[in-house]
Structure 1
């Protein structure tokens, strides 16, 4: 029953994410989301200040590929040496690398040009979906998933969720503030990464439950 509930939840999340991403990409193609992007960009960039720019550059650095790679090695070491996880290493690697590969594929599929309204930093490549948004979503959601059962207190789990939510949101907002992404790029990135993580976690839970059953019958 536990396996069925896990699979049903993962399937539901994947369906919601693929529908959300499909709608977002359709609205972008039909230019029906221009007003939404414009309003959000104006609101976020309207708060510009030297201090806030430094903060946003910090968060965008945290969401960059080089930082994620370095952090991932640290997390892998922690999972292997401290928590003594083995199978979880595969889930973490598959989640991060799969999300990065999916982002590259989708960027070349949609070929959306980056906004050119008010650029604070300069960057090349296509815009949709946001790689930083997908990186942030993948890393912090999978960290939350893997650490959840190791935190005994409810307040500790609540802090973990709030921290992950804050980091995902801050990194996404930083890309809008710095003028290198539309808000729809960020939302689309969250949906795309959510879909991939739902599939990865579904596969992980299925394998883990089946392996536990085999061990139970063997004993």
Structure 2
């Protein structure tokens, strides 16, 4: 990123009346933030209402059962079936943990490399920390919500559906796999579209990942219904929960980098005064 406030690029800028710490136009950014905050509050109210309704009405709705039966009755080609189920496989505990660690370590390593080259590095360290914080916090909250709401898993002995994985004793609303992928891949997508990354010389190398992330977020819901692990309402709740957590941590990330940029600018100004 090249500017008068950040000449070395790909780091934090000093916030001004015209630009944010991320280098975006401040007026445009504030308009987007206000709109996002309104939609976030509306989404939160809808999600809370859905949790209350499902808690007192844990049985699946007729359209839940009908959706599962329709999806499982499509009989996709084996290769397409495997492709659709891939997001669920990657979301299993070991693969998802390994992937998260690799991404966080990768972001921190980039930060250290830039630090050794005397280039702005704070943004990369913060990105790694916030990625881990987003995924781990959202996962913990999902487990807590599952326990509080207490909706039983789809049971093929009760409903005319197929279950392609072992029946687990954990509650089902909202879908943890769906929530995880929205928060995890959503935050990575957000990072890939920030201005420092967009202005990276080789940003086009991220295109395959961006396409896969979008596919995974879309396909994970279908995959959970296909495997018989969740009802449609579980998946929709997972999407909403994941989106709420994703945007909350994006707001927090923006606030943190802005605070840090202002704090750093203040310290530099104080040192400059002392040096005179």
TM-score (norm 2): 0.69
Query: Per residue, is there more helix in 1 or in 2?
Result: 1
1:196 and 2:245 equivalent?
A: yes
In the alignment, the residues of structure 2 paired with residue 114 and residue 190 of structure 1 have an alpha-carbon distance, to the nearest angstrom, of 18
For structure 1, which runs of at least 5 residues remain unmatched after alignment?
A: none
Residues in 2 aligned to 1:115 and 1:82: alpha-carbon distance in whole angstroms? 44
8 Å CA contact 2:224, 2:230 repeated in 1: yes
Moved more, 170-179 or 33-42: 33-42
- In 2, the alpha carbon distance for the partners of 1:100 and 1:62 equals 15
Alpha-carbon distance in 2 for matches of 1:139, 1:105: 18
Counterpart position of 1:98: 137
Asked if structure 2 preserves the Cα contact closer than 8 Å seen for 1:10 and 1:201, the reply is no
Native 8 Å contact 1:60 1:174 kept in 2: yes
Counterparts of residues 1-219 of structure 1 (less than 5 Å): 1=26, 4-5=30-31, 7-28=33-54, 29-30=56-57, 34-49=61-76, 51=78, 52-82=80-110, 84=121, 85-116=124-155, 117-124=161-168, 125-149=170-194, 150-152=197-199, 162-217=211-266, 218-219=268-269
Question: Once superposed, what is the RMSD of the aligned Cα atoms?
Answer: 2.8
Higher relative contact order (CA 8 A, sep 6+): 1
Count of matched residue pairs: 218
Contact 2:182 2:246 in 1 (8 A): no
Q: CA deviation at 1:20?
A: 3.2
Give, in angstroms, the shift of residue 21 of structure 1. 1.6
What are structure 2's unaligned runs of at least 5 residues?
A: 1-25, 112-120, 156-160, 270-276
Q: Output the CA distance in 2 between the equivalents of 1:158 and 1:47.
A: 31
Q: TM-score, normalised to structure 1's length?
A: 0.85
Post-superposition Cα deviations, 1:38-82, rounded to whole Å, max 9, x if no partner, equal 332122111135714433443211122221110011101221123
